[in-house]
Amino acid sequence: MSIAQNIALIQEKIAAATKRSGRDASSVRLMAVSKFHPIEEIQVAYNAGIRLFGENRVQEACEKFSNLSLPDAELHMIGSLQRNKVKRILPLVDCIQSIDRIELLDEIAKHSSKENFVPSKKNIKLLFELHTGEESKTGFVSELDLEAAIDYAIRSGLFPAGFMTMAPFSDNVDLIRHSFVTLRETAARIQKNFSHLDLSELSMGMSNDFEIAIEEGSTLVRVGTAIFGTRSYGVNQ
């Protein structure tokens, strides 16, 4: 199947999953995770209607997306981020979904300050990653630490917008579902303590589990393989 056909099929599945959960189809955004795929394929996905892309490595994201002109499209950083690469990625992205420790916030605040701020950019949104599955290695482990990080971000003048998680790689649907429920319930509790903020973005669900994620409240699904096919690691390394 072509990339355009894959996207159409996923959009149908998203529509069906929202419908059976009593949700509006427009309440879930589809992100195309384009890591390890060339700019030609990104352009094809854009032409097929994708307006949200995700990359997980700074170097690769910069090389590809500074050579593309995709009006109205957003790029999100979804991979674990090193402190010394923050400065480089900030001008290129609309959101960093992988905030997993406080020290990143200092670095982001430093480079988004008035002197360094890129005027053409709107405020960069931040999603806080929660560790919900045994096999994922990144993310905040405790709800208290997560809350402290959000508080710290606000006091640093940054813009927390919600949460992100990765379910375990597993065939066990209950285990996967549990991971998404954990994120949703944690988010709801934290939202109560920050009632003046909008923390409603829940980034959860990938190629193999996005329908379960939608049933559990996902607002943004991150789909790579099911759109672009298998990644050939090594091509961009």
Ligand X SMILES: *Cc1c(COP(=O)(O)O)cnc(C)c1O
Residues that bind ligand X (CB under 6 A): 33, 35, 56, 78-79, 166, 206-208, 222-226
**Sequence-distant contacts of 44-50: CB under 8 A, at least 24 apart:** 44/3, 44/4, 45/3, 45/7, 45/227, 45/228, 46/70, 46/73, 47/4, 48/3, 48/4, 48/7, 48/8, 49/7, 50/7, 50/227
Given the structure tokens 């360094």, which residue do they identify?
A: 116
Q: In angstroms, give the least distance from the CB of 80 to ligand X.
A: 9
Based on CB atoms, which residue is closest to ligand X, 18 or 165?
165
The sign of the CA dihedral 43, 48, 52, 54 is negative
Residue-level length of the chain: 237
Does residue 219 contact residue 183 with C-beta atoms inside 8 Å?
no
Q: In angstroms, give the least distance from the CB of 126 to ligand X.
A: 15
Given the structure tokens 């959860």, which residue do they identify?
A: 204
Based on CB atoms, which residue is closest to ligand X, 115 or 177?
177
Q: In angstroms, give the least distance from the CB of 227 to ligand X.
A: 8
Based on CB atoms, which residue is closest to ligand X, 158 or 164?
164
Based on CB atoms, which residue is closest to ligand X, 151 or 215?
215
What SS3 state is found at 12? helix
Q: In angstroms, give the least distance from the CB of 215 to ligand X.
A: 17
Based on CB atoms, which residue is closest to ligand X, 35 or 111?
35
Q: Which structure tokens are listed for 69?
A: 């002109």
Q: In angstroms, give the least distance from the CB of 28 to ligand X.
A: 15
**Relative orientation angle of helices 143-155 and 102-111, to the nearest 10 degrees:** 20
Q: In angstroms, give the least distance from the CB of 56 to ligand X.
A: 4
Based on CB atoms, which residue is closest to ligand X, 144 or 235?
235
Question: What distance in Å separates the CA atoms of residue 13 and residue 79, rounded to the nearest whole number?
Answer: 25
Based on CB atoms, which residue is closest to ligand X, 77 or 90?
77
Q: In angstroms, give the least distance from the CB of 222 to ligand X.
A: 4
